[in-house]
A and B are shown apart, each in its own frame.
Chain A
């Protein structure tokens, strides 16, 4: 397999201003345009630079531990009625696909001569990954986190601090991920000369959606080749959970040109889309502008952002990356909601059949796959092969899951 995770491929690209059809673009204060242009230039130059690609490839291999395995989950497959291949991003350093994006952006930060990175985080996964890269690259690191989240994810706050980051609890608005993102934007406007805003998903203003997608694209490039090697063919479907959308785009991108391969993104359906308590921006939202990009947004009749709800902190965001909005409109990918309960049932199933504790985010991809398998089998008239992006491990979710299943010993 190629160690060059950034080698050009002929996947879909936005226009030069970052528009994916009617989505994407830049809805930002003028004060940020110069920094976004600088980033766009640095990214394009880096992508064309062999030495950057080699450095990134070496980091992914030697530090992050990629390529991640493609593992045939036989006992899970038997329960599901499909040949399920898990892309084991949970085995990466820091426990999720996010490390790929963070290493890419940290390298770019160095190239731009900036000395400070800031990040937003919900559950703390992206914050931990950013703090990790900041330690490795000797960058100052400030992580914005909603106060509600710093309280429910106290361990990840401690992890970030151990790694040398400053964690700032955000007390504005709903005090969750979207407010942390607002606060990071405010910091960036004020400190843009020395600071890079290391956005944690394929959302935000151009060039972030396309750039982040490129940094995580190795997931799909690897999985496609691994599937060919293992099965002699391409899968019938590729599935992933969709929060902001980075892990899903990361695995989709390599398959977009393979017309026979169906692409499924599973959004957080919370208590059910009909209840209004969910985070399914594509299924349950409408087109709008949030955090610098035009995309699907959970909003009220006046365009005020609505609060999202999900058992999974990493999916609990009222927007989605613009490329997904576009893939949805074009019909190339299908987006469906998965409720908290469905996700937790699949979470338990993977634990018990394979001895793998998935991130609750990734459990949404598993649950969607469980529902998809019989339909696909009926349609194809044979057992389908499905590649699932197991985007992260569940260590961070032990408390939430333990609570959900009622298996925590009562506090003494």
Chain B
């Protein structure tokens, strides 16, 4: 079983959800992003999702877009994101990379998989790659022992849901909101419904991202999902801070609050 699978199992045994915290590599700088992610781990984030900044992030809302733009303006390269993965993996927390497809294709799919595996990454979350187009990634991830997290959505048919989870390894990402990162669900039952539809077709853990920003919201999502994925709210801590120290302090405070939330699932 993959390292992420082990972490999910342990959280399940403890009667809680896993907290996944997302941050773009290179934001605000490469070193700054390593410091931010390390602080998140120290304050209770279980899994770090390192997002590779991309010029055209169609699944991301304004907060993550802004952070990605800052990282790209600072000159971050794909190779730097591998360095971030390596540094954060050294903390002992599982590190998964989230990336739009073009940077991977440009790097070379197999070379990318090889480098990610040797940096200690567990796998990829691919927001704009569906299994239908993923032959090369399926082969490369098998060759290098990486997990594959494809997304499922409330609009996925049952047939697509089954097909998609059939290609996942590690965990499944349920985009419970029809919309970009940072957005809140319009209806409160869209997320639990999607999770239960997903569970009906897989034993893999299911992570949910839907604009969670507080410990209470984390607790609510933890009530029905195996993982609570938080991005924009964490990124905003760094974006809104007037100094690096202030940003790290805000990150620690929010991470601790979210970690508390996932330990108190509202069922």
Give me the interface of A with B, judged by CB distance under 8 Å: 17, 25-35, 172-173, 178-179, 182, 185-186, 189-192, 288-292, 297, 299, 301-305
Contacts and interface: CB of A to CB of B under 8 A. Distances in A.
Contacts of B107: 302-303
Q: Is the interface of A mostly helix, strand, loop or mixed?
A: mixed
A29 B181 CA distance: 12
A31 B155 contact: yes
Interface string B149-167: 0111111110010001000
B156 A30 contact: yes
A252 to B, nearest CB: 26
A258 B128 CA distance: 38
28 contacts: A27-B130, A29-B58, A29-B175, A30-B150, A30-B160, A30-B164, A31-B151, A31-B155, A33-B160, A172-B65, A172-B69, A173-B55, A179-B56, A182-B58, A185-B58, A186-B58, A186-B59, A186-B179, A186-B180, A190-B179, A192-B178, A289-B128, A292-B128, A297-B102, A301-B106, A302-B107, A303-B102, A305-B56
Contacts of A305: 55-56, 102
Contact of B56 (A17, A26, A33, A290): A290
Contacts of B246: none
Contacts of A189: 58-59, 178-180
Contacts of A288: 102, 105-106
Contacts of A190: 178-180, 183
**Which 10 pairs of residues, A with B, have the shortest CB-CB distance?**
A303-B106, A190-B179, A31-B153, A34-B155, A303-B102, A303-B103, A304-B55, A289-B102, A305-B55, A185-B58
Interface string B130-141: 101100000000
Interface residue tally of chain B, by bracket? 35 or more
Contacts of B62: 172
Contacts of A192: 155, 178
A92 B52 CA distance: 45
A60 B161 CA distance: 41
Nearest to B129: A27
Contacts of A191: 178
A28 B72 CA distance: 22
B124 to A, nearest CB: 14
B153 A30 contact: yes
Nearest to A17: B132
A172 B58 CA distance: 11
B76 to A, nearest CB: 9
B97 to A, nearest CB: 14
Contacts, number: 114
B265 interface: no
B103 A302 contact: yes
Interface in B180-203: 180, 183
Contacts of B101: 27, 289
Contacts of A303: 54, 78, 102-107
B95 to A, nearest CB: 20
B77 interface: yes
B103 A304 contact: yes
Interface centre among A289, A292, A301 (most CB of B within 10 A): A289
B130 A28 contact: yes
A366 to B, nearest CB: 32
Contacts of A26: 130, 132-133
Interface in B214-236: none
A35 B130 CA distance: 14
Contacts of A173: 55-56, 65, 69
A30 B183 CA distance: 17
B253 to A, nearest CB: 29
Contacts of A27: 101, 128-130, 133
B105 A33 contact: no
Given A173-B55, A182-B56, A289-B102, A29 B157 contact: no
Contact of A291 (B56, B72, B127, B157): B56
B134 to A, nearest CB: 10
A30 B77 CA distance: 27
A154 to B, nearest CB: 25
Interface centre among A28, A182, A186, A301 (most CB of B within 10 A): A186
Interface centre among A33, A178, A191, A192 (most CB of B within 10 A): A33
B248 to A, nearest CB: 27
Nearest to B131: A30
Nearest to A191: B178
Nearest to B153: A31
B178 A302 contact: no
A297 B106 CA distance: 11
A185 B178 CA distance: 12
Nearest to B68: A173
A250 B51 CA distance: 40
A25 to B, nearest CB: 5
B140 to A, nearest CB: 16
Contacts of B152: 30
Interface centre among B58, B105, B127, B164 (most CB of A within 10 A): B58
Contacts of B69: 172-173
Contact of B153 (A29, A290, A292, A297): A29
Given A32-B155, A182-B58, A192-B155, 8 more contacts: A26-B132, A29-B153, A34-B156, A189-B180, A190-B178, A303-B104, A304-B55, A304-B103
Contacts of A179: 56
Nearest to B99: A303
Contacts of B78: 302-303
Interface centre among A34, A178, A189, A297 (most CB of B within 10 A): A189
